[in-house]
Chain A
Amino acid sequence: MLADVGTRILTVEDDERIRTAVKLALEDEGWTVDEAGSGEEAIELFQRGQPDVVLIDIMLPGIDGFELCRHLRKTSDLPIVMVTARADTHDIVAGLEAGADDYLTKPFAPKELSARIRALLRRIRPMSPGHAKLIFGDLEIIPDEGKVLRGGVELHLTKTEFRLLVELGQNPGRVFSRESLLDKVWGYDYFGDGRLVDVHIRRLRTKVEADAANPRHVVTVRGLGYRLQS
């Protein structure tokens, strides 16, 4: 299963040997790979032409991975995968909160990375005609156009946040467990990291809720998972 031809991945990694090896392996998987050795270089490349996915190593000289991630998030909703040598809770949650969609810990298999990227690039299933719009109170989701409006004003969600919201909205009232969301949105099996879901839900709330501390739409069902309601 090869990736879409011409899908561009920008890898930001200061270790030249790792960068080269990962580029070779990813190219074998069929991706087009651009390289950047620092955050500054990545921003420059990014401005010249947007890639489809960005792969960011957290430990970078100068601008670090978190900061680069936040910077890119200001202007772009593209999928970002964080790479860390430290599997400590702190780094992973900080990376996700900076706007990353998924993470991998070194050393990972390039095949695994390819699978992650494919999952993030997956498109939303086209809606059946009757469900072209999902409405939850003041929240209006138009899956086919990739739009979310709150009180008529369009919200800017990343692709992953949008897919998460649509997933929750397609079966109104149903409670989704972390596992099923991990499977549907990220393509993870039984052993995916539940923190991915938790942090994304948190980020989603800051955008779709009037008061993120007292969510009305994206609610937690204790011990079971999450639910979207009016």
Chain B
Amino acid sequence: MTEIRDQETAADDAPTSPWRRGFRALARFRAQRLGLRMRILLTFSLGFLALSVFLAAITYSFAKSTLIKQREKAGVEQTYRDASVALNALASASANPQASATATINVLLNLGVARPVLNYHDSWAQNTLSFGQEVVPAALKEKVFANEPSMMVITVKSERVLVVGVPLGAAEGAYFEFFSLTEVNDTLRSVGLSLLFAGFITTLAGAVLGSVASRRAVKPLGDAAQAAKAIAGGRLDTRLETTDDHDLRLLANSFNDMASALQSRVERDARFASDVSHELRSPLMTLAASVEVMLARRDEMPERAQAALDLLVADVARFQGLVEDLLEISRFDAGAIRLHLEDLLVAEFVRQAVAVSSLPQTPITVTERAENLVIQVDRRRLARVIANLIDNARLHGGGEPEVTVSEAESDGEPLGHVWIAVEDHGAGVPVEERNLVFERFARGAVAGRRSSSDGAGLGLALVDEHVRLHGGSATVEDRRDGEPGARFVIELPAEEVGV
């Protein structure tokens, strides 16, 4: 598998140029989808960068042309001035053109002209070789000899210079002069540097602005996300603040509408289960009272009526139990359970709870260490847990369970918890069904095999919910003594009291 993949990658990579690879990387980068904040930030930064580059380019080229034009103008004026000086000098010169030219150059040098070049009757004169007639471009010479004043920018030994040439009409010659552009270039360079710096600052400002803007743009989304989280966590009355902003108001309004709809639906569902159970209580009241009246006269009834009455009594009790359980479960679902916690001696509590259960004679074993353990519980709710576990043993565990209270331990180390275990003599619960038995109406394979007309109902589901609400856990395992049967254990936090 890996080999094939490697080959594929190799085949893929082989013909690609670095460019294509770079392009692909960029595509991948885009495909990763930048977050909204990052995109806003990038947009702002790039926008400001582009703007600053554009402005800098305009400024630079404008500055450059202005500076160079000024320099050219100055150069041309200077050249004409120097040319007229040269003409005057030549007028009073000797017959030897070379000597005259050299003399004229010297006159100019004395006047402070740095780089003059003179042509007089085909004789050249100049100050230095580096800025001599050989350096003057042929094209320029041609133009000037054709009686057309011209100029040109050239590079001499890495120095940018301006060469201006004017014909000396009357004197049969031409005058050239070199002007350094170094100064202009230096100025342009510093202008460029300033512009670069300004561009950098602008881009940075763009990034800052973008980050602020993105934060502002994303804040409503963050608020909405937080509100949605709160709603998911059960705080159904969470709403978004309404704003003056058109676009955001739409979001806030739809969000709030959704939240309201959800809230009313959840509340309606919770209320429905609760209402149903409450409504059922009234007819049950009549049933319970009537059944009692009939029971008082059971002996006067014919045998068949007695049998029917017994059925009625048993199922009214079952019905009543189901309605109570349903109501309690709906309280859990509505989050409406409020525990009345008290510190109770666990041994005393279990004895009392078993005494009011459906099998009050159930034997109870309390280990010595567990006698002084105190649990913090809602006694009426936890008594239901014990009663439900005993009911479960009675209905599905072959009756006659045993209750054990012991200190929770792991490899002989006490855990600061107490175990209340109910062991029965039923078929036990297979490993794969041990979580399922605590589900609501857990029937299917579990109850099917465990038979009994009373079904699994909500009893064990309530055990689980109650115990968890008390910070404990409910589990089922095999009997400790190896005989067939299940051991339902609830583990609760417990403390030892000083006697």
Could you tell me which A residues sit within 8 Å of B by CB distance?
15, 17-18, 21-22, 24-25, 28, 85-89, 105-111, 189-191, 193-195, 223
For the complex, give the distance between the alpha carbons of A190 and B353 in Å.
9
Contact A25 B289 (CB under 8 A): yes
Of A17, A28, A193, A194, the contact of B292 (CB 8 Å cutoff): A28
24 inter-chain pairs at a CB distance below 8 angstroms, sorted by A residue, are: A18-B282, A18-B285, A21-B285, A21-B286, A21-B290, A24-B290, A25-B290, A25-B293, A28-B292, A85-B282, A86-B278, A89-B338, A106-B284, A107-B284, A107-B287, A109-B288, A110-B289, A189-B356, A190-B349, A190-B356, A190-B379, A191-B352, A191-B356, A194-B342
Contact B281 A190 (CB under 8 A): no
- Measured CB to CB, the nearest residue on chain B to A17 is B286
Chain A contacts of B380 at CB under 8 A? Answer: 191, 193
Contact A85 B293 (CB under 8 A): no
CB distance from B439 to the nearest CB of A (A): 25
CB distance from A172 to the nearest CB of B (A): 26
- Measured CB to CB, the nearest residue on chain A to B342 is A194
A-B pairs under 8 A by CB, number: 70
Chain B contacts of A24 at CB under 8 A? Answer: 289-290, 293
For the complex, give the distance between the alpha carbons of A15 and B336 in Å.
28
How many B residues touch A, CB cutoff 8 Å? 28
For the complex, give the distance between the alpha carbons of A89 and B380 in Å.
14
- Measured CB to CB, the nearest residue on chain B to A190 is B352
Of B278, B290, B349, the contact of A85 (CB 8 Å cutoff): B278
For the complex, give the distance between the alpha carbons of A21 and B281 in Å.
14
Chain A contacts of B285 at CB under 8 A? Answer: 15, 18, 21-22, 106-108
Main secondary structure of the interface of B (DSSP, over half): helix
CB distance from B300 to the nearest CB of A (A): 13
How does the 8 Å CB contact mask read for B361-400 relative to A, with 1 for contact and 0 for none?
0000000000000000001100100000000000000000
Chain B contacts of A106 at CB under 8 A? Answer: 281-282, 284-285
CB distance from A164 to the nearest CB of B (A): 20
- Measured CB to CB, the nearest residue on chain A to B340 is A194
Question: What 4 pairs between A and B have smallest CB-CB spacing?
Answer: A21-B289, A190-B352, A107-B285, A107-B284
Chain A contacts of B336 at CB under 8 A? Answer: 88
A24-B290, A28-B292, A107-B288 as given contacts; A191 in contact with B281, CB under 8 Å: no
How does the 8 Å CB contact mask read for B290-312 relative to A, with 1 for contact and 0 for none?
10110010000000000000000
Q: Does B68 contact A (CB under 8 A)?
A: no
- Measured CB to CB, the nearest residue on chain A to B349 is A190
Those of B315-365 within 8 Å (CB) of chain A = 320, 327, 336, 338, 340, 342-343, 349, 352-353, 356
Of A15, A88, A189, the contact of B352 (CB 8 Å cutoff): A189
Chain B contacts of A110 at CB under 8 A? Answer: 288-289, 292
For the complex, give the distance between the alpha carbons of A191 and B349 in Å.
10
Contact B292 A109 (CB under 8 A): yes
Chain A contacts of B296 at CB under 8 A? Answer: 28
CB distance from B446 to the nearest CB of A (A): 30
Chain A contacts of B379 at CB under 8 A? Answer: 190-191
- Measured CB to CB, the nearest residue on chain A to B328 is A87
- Measured CB to CB, the nearest residue on chain A to B383 is A191
Those of B441-460 within 8 Å (CB) of chain A = none
